[in-house]
Structure 1
Amino acid sequence: MDLQGALEILKRNGYKYTGKRKRLVEVFYRESRYLSAKEVLDYMQEDYPGLSFDTIYRNLALFEDIGIVETTEWQGERRYRFCCGGDEHHHHLICTFCGKTRTLHVCPMNAILGKPEDFDITGHKFEIYGTCSTCKADVAVSKM
Structure 2
Amino acid sequence: MMDRLQAHQILKDLKLKITPKRVEVIGCLADEPSFLSADQVWHRLKPRLSQIGLPTVYRILDELSEAGVVSRIFMADRKQYYFLCPNPEHHHHFVCEACRQVEDVELCGFDAVARDLSARSGARVTSHILQINGICAACSLAAEAAPGKELTAK
Q: What TM bracket, shorter-length normalisation? A: 0.7 to 0.9
Residue equivalent to 1:129:
133
- Measured in 2, the distance between the counterparts of 1:40 and 1:139 equals 33
Give identity over the alignment, percent.
Answer: 27
- Measured in 2, the distance between the counterparts of 1:53 and 1:34 equals 17
Q: For the Cα contact (< 8 Å) 1:90–1:103, is it kept in 2?
A: yes
After superposition, the Cα gap between the structure-2 partners of 1:99 and 1:129, relative to the gap in structure 1 and judged at 3 Å, is same
- Measured in 1, the distance between the counterparts of 2:68 and 2:80 equals 16
For structure 1, the 5+ residue unaligned runs are none
- Measured in 2, the distance between the counterparts of 1:15 and 1:132 equals 35
Residue equivalent to 1:98:
99
Residue equivalent to 1:82:
84
1:7-64 CA deviation, whole Å, 9 max, x = no partner? 2342245433222222211111111322111211122123124532112112112212
Q: Does 1:16 align with 2:23?
A: no
Residue equivalent to 2:115:
115
- Measured in 2, the distance between the counterparts of 1:30 and 1:70 equals 15
Identify the structure with bigger relative contact order (alpha carbons < 8 Å, sequence gap 6+). 1
- Measured in 2, the distance between the counterparts of 1:60 and 1:121 equals 25
Which amino acid in the other structure matches residue 51 of structure 1? I
For structure 2, the 5+ residue unaligned runs are none
Secondary structure of residue in 1 paired with 2:82: strand
After superposition, the Cα gap between the structure-2 partners of 1:98 and 1:36, relative to the gap in structure 1 and judged at 3 Å, is farther
After superposition, the Cα gap between the structure-2 partners of 1:138 and 1:39, relative to the gap in structure 1 and judged at 3 Å, is farther
Residue equivalent to 2:37:
36
Secondary structure of residue in 2 paired with 1:93: strand
After superposition, the Cα gap between the structure-2 partners of 1:119 and 1:31, relative to the gap in structure 1 and judged at 3 Å, is same
Secondary structure of residue in 2 paired with 1:115: helix
Structure 1 residue runs of 4 or more that deviate by more than 4 Å after TM superposition? 2-6, 138-142
TM-score by length of 2: 0.71
